Amino acid sequence: MLVNLRDICAIAEQNNMAIAAVNSASLEAIRAAIEVSEETGYPIIIQHAEGHEQLVPLKYVGPIVRTLAERSSAQICLNLDHCEHLSYAQRALDLGFTGVMFDGSALPYEQNVEYSQRVADMCAEYGAGLECELGSMGSREGGERDEGGTAEEAGAIYTNPDQAKDFVEATGLDILACSFGTVHGIYKGEPHLNFDVRTEIRKRVKVPLVMHGGSGVSDEDYVKAINAGIRKVNYYTYGAKYAGEAACREIDSKRAKSDSAIIYWHDLTPVAYESFKRTFEHVVKVFANGANPVA
Ligand code: 13P
C-alpha cells in the first residue's frame, strides 16, 4: 500500500529503526525494493531524484512505482528526492508522490526557508509529507558518482543545530535531512560521522532526522546513527555499484567461455536485480535495528 512520508517515518520513530530510502533509477532496483519490503515485512521508501531525470524520466517512474505500491502488501512511500525546482515538485505531486524532499541547501538560508515554505504549502494541498535539507553534503545526488571523497573534500557544511531548530519551526517540514559527515557518492576513505553534531540537533528538534549519503557507511555506524535518532537512510550509490560489478562479472564469465559470446541486455538485468535484492535485504534488516516486522 502507498504510505505518506510522514507516516512511514513515524513507524520508524515508534520502533527505534530507520527506513531504507532507495533510488528508483532502474526497474531492477524498483522490483528488488518492493520484493524485499514484502518479504521482510519492513516498510520501504522508493525515491526518484530530480537529478536522475536523464536516466528515468519522472513521467515513467512515477506511475510505475505508484501503481506497484498501491497493489503491494508492503508499506511503500513514493518520495521525490533532491528536488530543486518547484515545477518539478508540482509534477511529482500531480503524479501521486506521497513525499517530497526539497533541497534548498545550496541557497542562502533565508531563501532555503522561503522555498521550503512554498513546497510545504504545495505538499499540504496533496497531503504529502515534506523533507528539507539544512547544511550541505557538498556533492549532489545525480552527479558524477566518484565525486564523494570525504565530507571535507566534498565541501560539506555540517548542519548548525541552533539554525536547525529555527528551520524546522519556520518551514513546518515533517522530516529533516542533516549533514554530519556523510557524502553522496563513493567514499575515498572511511566515512567519519560526527555524532556530536547529530546529538545537538536531536536535542533541539523533535522531527525525524534523515541521513543522506547513506550508502558506504559501516553497519556499526548505521546502528549508532539509528540509536541516535536517524529514521530514514538514503541509500543509492553502493547498491548501483554492486549491481554494475555483478553485470561485469557476468560479461567476463561469458567471454571466458567464448571470445565471441554475444552479450544480450537481458543477460545482465536479472544479475543486476539479484544484486540489488541482496543489497537491499541486508540494509533493510540492519536498519530495522532489531525491531519486529511491522507489516
Ligand atoms: P549515496 O550516494 O551515499 O548512496 O546517497 C544517496 C542519497 O543520499 C540520495 O539522496
Rounded average pLDDT per 10-residue block, the chain, 295 residues:
98 98 98 98 98 98 98 98 98 98 96 98 98 82 53 75 97 96 90 90 96 96 95 98 98 96 97 98 98 91
User: So what's the pLDDT on residue 248?
Assistant: 98
Give the span between the Cα atoms of 219 and 287, in whole angstroms: 9
* DSSP β-ladder status, 230-235 and 19-23: parallel
User: So what's the pLDDT on residue 144?
Assistant: 46
Give the span between the Cα atoms of 132 and 43, in whole angstroms: 21
Give the span between the Cα atoms of 115 and 178, in whole angstroms: 17
Contacts (Cβ under 8 Å, ≥6 apart) of 286: 219, 222, 223
Cell of 289: 535495528
Cell of 84: 530543486
User: So what's the pLDDT on residue 127?
Assistant: 98
Closest CA to 79 of 46, 53, 51: 46
- What's the DSSP call for residue 207? S
Q: Ligand 1, residues 47, 141, 241, 242: which to mutate, most atoms within 8 A of Cβ? A: 141
Q: Which amino acid is at 226?
A: I
User: So what's the pLDDT on residue 76?
Assistant: 98
Q: Which atom of ligand 1 is nearest to the CA of 82?
A: 10
Cell of 160: 548548525
Whether residue 7 lies in the annotated active site: no
Grid cell 527506513 is found at 19
Around ligand 1, the residues with Cβ closer than 6 Å are 81-82, 141, 184-185, 212-216, 234-237
User: So what's the pLDDT on residue 295?
Assistant: 76
User: So what's the pLDDT on residue 148?
Assistant: 57
Ligand 1 center–CA 212 separation, angstroms: 5
Residue closest via CA to ligand 1's atom 1 equals: 213
